[in-house]
Structure 1
Amino acid sequence: MSPAVRTGSGTADRGGACAQVLLWTGGRELTTQEVPLPAPGPGEILVRVRAAAICGSDLHTVAGHRQAPCPSVLGHEGTGEVLDIGPDGSARPRDAAGAALHAGDRIIWSVVAACRRCDRCAAGLSAKCRGLRKAGHEPFAGPWPLSGALATHVLLPAGHDVMRIPPALDEAAASTAACAGATVMAALEAAAAPAVRGGRGEGLDGARVLVIGAGMLGLLATCGARQLGARTVHVLDPSPERRYVARAAGATNTAAPGADASGQGVDAALELSGSAAGVSAAVAALDVGGTAVLAGSVFPGPAVAVDPEQLVRGLRTVTGVHNYEPRHLVQAVELLASPAGRALPWREIMSPPVTLDGAAAALRDGPGSHLRTLVRP
């Protein structure tokens, strides 16, 4: 399938130049294809992808655990260079921190493409925009075929949230900000909100935090919680290798699920594994006034029993986080660019780089020994 690549001003090509894409066609079938390289329409941004990471949700899609448009170009964690910006009579596009964008800028881009006009966007819930589109989740035959980072190029719609990355931040590490990093910052914000409302300080200052799941989300949550002032961060994960990396990220102690009770009586519990047992453990671990933030349950699973009396009498909060707002993209870049973020054990986190063909093999074979497969399209 090789549909015309459409932009806001129609179909265009750039002197016969082509983009190469890794096309998912259902099941574990993936193939590389070439399509004409489009010229950006008004306000659109054409990006050359420099690094991409295979997220767990990409693996879930190929394994059949979640619904997704098919065929499509997967991948929503990417870093790239701005090649061209379409004409815009009003103003030059700016990144989520307010800086004007220019050709040559290194950027990451949001998973979320929101309309900015509906009632949810007006209420600050653009993550649940009524007309939501998502990078790496759009049909190849639709109006946004070059949405996925598992390609040499992406074409971002007008008004899409992007963030420039500082020179000191490695492209591979920066790519994780676009999904894992920004989602974690939204989850940490949700965990801290009740304490702020209750006048008990800013952020997670002095908090006891439990992180369940030491994947990419859990690793960045551990680092982020410590950056926000958490006194302790206890991490639960069945994998000794992942627990080791979590300690390198700043965990004060780690354990296998059910191994001990040191994760009990916490102010905030972040459930990032998506397991029903993890959800139950997060709620059960809360001290009076504590908050459980569920961010890992992104595909169907078994129901979890909750004792409402324990929530009521303990003033406990259970909330969910899915997607994120533009400010969280800014915060994710700041975290990764901080000394703590740059000091993370990236050689253990990221695989050696692979091509698009290597990405196809990684998606077919399932999770490897690294938290992320690094792709250099």
Structure 2
Amino acid sequence: AAIGGDSVQDYSGHQLSVGDRITWSICISCGQCKRCESGIPQKCASVKKFGHEVLDGDSGLLGGFAEYVLLPASTSIFRISNAVPDEVLCPANCATATVAAAIRQVPKVSSKRVLIIGAGMLGLSAIAFVKTKGASQISVIEPDDDRSKLAFAFGADHVADDISKISERFDIIFDFSGSSSAIEQAISAVDLGGTIVLVGTVAPSPAISIDPEFIVRNLITIIGVHNYHPMDLETALNFLVTHNKDIPFDQLVEKSFPLADINDAVEFALSHKPIRVMIKP
């Protein structure tokens, strides 16, 4: 590893040295366009994303499945604790950080009734977040039996396998499933003055029908979240460091593989559908 220049600091102002354990924001932003200046650098007009770029003469070495990666000067870097296991920290980027971004959209979670749709990595992390923030009731929609059990372990009060089996209303709903039918039903389950945060729809999906009168008369807020701000990664890291002993984050990485066996890791992920697989360089 090497550091460009005489002095490099992380996002929080900590001096970085060769050998530090670090992670970095998935988005590389210019910091100067209108989007960056308006507080949404994750949607920078010239944004590039680690692990998402085609390897060509312009992209640089931005992939993650490698022994080395090039971090451009505008990368938001974070020094992280050596005391927390890789299995706990590796989902921080980008699952836990994306959840932190979703939670940030809701000013108050304490004493609120929360519904979380989908208990994969993001949904389970969201359960843990809202539990620690004092939600009065946490309901989860998850059809998979193993993931339903994990939902209870992470703090859920009630788990149903289909949203049609939920009859009550909620103050806050988070969708991590990306299911159009689930989202359409979920909107009608938002209580007066409530909020629904949509996170899981990151690919083209069927359109949904919305009753605008219901939205207006019930003061419903609908928010979309895509990518995350660097501050959300900082929140995610702090959350994992603080709660890694009392919440079973280490159970979410079901198996790890060395980088040399990456093809086996991909095959395992495709055939077993685990919550997460970890690659260790």
Q: Common fold, TM-score beyond 0.5?
A: yes
Match of 2:24 among 105, 109, 116: 109
- Partner of 1:154: helix, strand, or coil? coil
Aligned with 2:3 (options 48, 68, 85): 85
Paired residues, number: 280
Q: In the alignment, what sits opposite 2:144?
A: 239
Q: Does 1:329 align with 2:233?
A: yes
Take 1:355 and 1:349, find their aligned partners in 2: how far apart are those partners? Answer: 18
What one-letter code is carried by the residue in structure 1 that aligns with 2:3? I
**Following the alignment from structure 2 to structure 1, what is the Cα–Cα distance between the partners of residues 182 and 163?**
10
Matches within 5 A, 1:1-377: 83-88=1-6, 92-190=7-105, 192-193=106-107, 203-258=108-163, 260-261=165-166, 264-339=168-243, 341-346=244-249, 348-364=251-267, 366=270, 368-377=272-281
The answer to whether the Cα contact below 8 Å between 2:88 and 2:250 also exists between their aligned partners in 1 is: no
Q: Structure 1 144/240 Cα, relative in aligned 2: closer, same or farther at 3 Å?
A: same
Change (3 A) 1:152 1:138: same
Secondary structure in 1 matching 2:12: coil
Which region of structure 1 is more displaced relative to structure 2, 354-363 or 317-326? Answer: 354-363
Structure with higher helix content: 2
Alignment gaps of 5+ in structure 2: none
User: What SS does the corresponding residue of 1:351 show, helix, strand or coil?
Assistant: strand
Contact 1:348 1:370 (C-alpha < 8 Å) held by counterparts: no
Aligned-residue Cα RMSD (Å) equals: 1.7
CA distance in 2, matches of 1:354, 1:87: 34
Runs of 4+ in 1 over 6 A off after TM superposition: none
Whole-angstrom CA distance in 2 between matches of 1:100 and 1:185: 25
What is the identity percentage for the equivalent residue pairs of Structure 1 and Structure 2? 37
Larger Rg: 1
Task: Please identify which structure carries the higher strand content.
Answer: 1
Counterpart Cα distance in 1 of 2:74 and 2:132: 31
Q: Secondary structure at the match of 2:237?
A: helix
Query: Per the alignment, do residues 367 and 125 of structure 1 end up closer, same or farther by CA in structure 2, a change over 3 Å counting?
Result: farther
- Residue 316 of structure 1 aligns with an amino acid whose one-letter code is I
- Given that 2:25 and 2:93 are in contact with CA atoms closer than 8 Å, whether structure 1 keeps it comes out as yes
Q: 1:169 to 1:271 in 2, by over 3 A?
A: same
Contact 2:148/2:159, CA 8 A, preserved across alignment:
yes
**Residue pair 2:141, 2:159 contacting (<8 A) in 1 also:** yes
Paired with 1:221 and 1:215, the residues of 2 have a C-alpha distance of 10
TM-score computed with the length of structure 2 as normaliser: 0.94
- Tell me which residue corresponds to 1:20: none
- Asked whether the equivalents of residues 116 and 175 of structure 2 are also in contact (C-alpha less than 8 Å), the reply is yes
Q: Shift of residue 162 of structure 1?
A: 1.6
The letter for the 2-side match of 1:344 is I
Distance (Å, rounded) in 2 between the aligned partners of 1:285 and 1:338: 33
Structure 1 residue 369, shift from structure 2 partner? 4.2
Letter in structure 2 aligned against 1:359: I
What is the distance in 1 between the residues matched to 2:60 and 2:263?
A: 18
Cα distance, 1:346 vs structure 2:
4.2
CA change 1:282–1:358 in 2 (3 A) is farther
Q: CA deviation at 1:355?
A: 2.6
| Distance in 1, Cα, partners of 2:258 & 2:184 | 40
Q: CA distance change for structure 1 residues 99 and 281 in 2, over 3 Å: closer, same or farther? A: farther
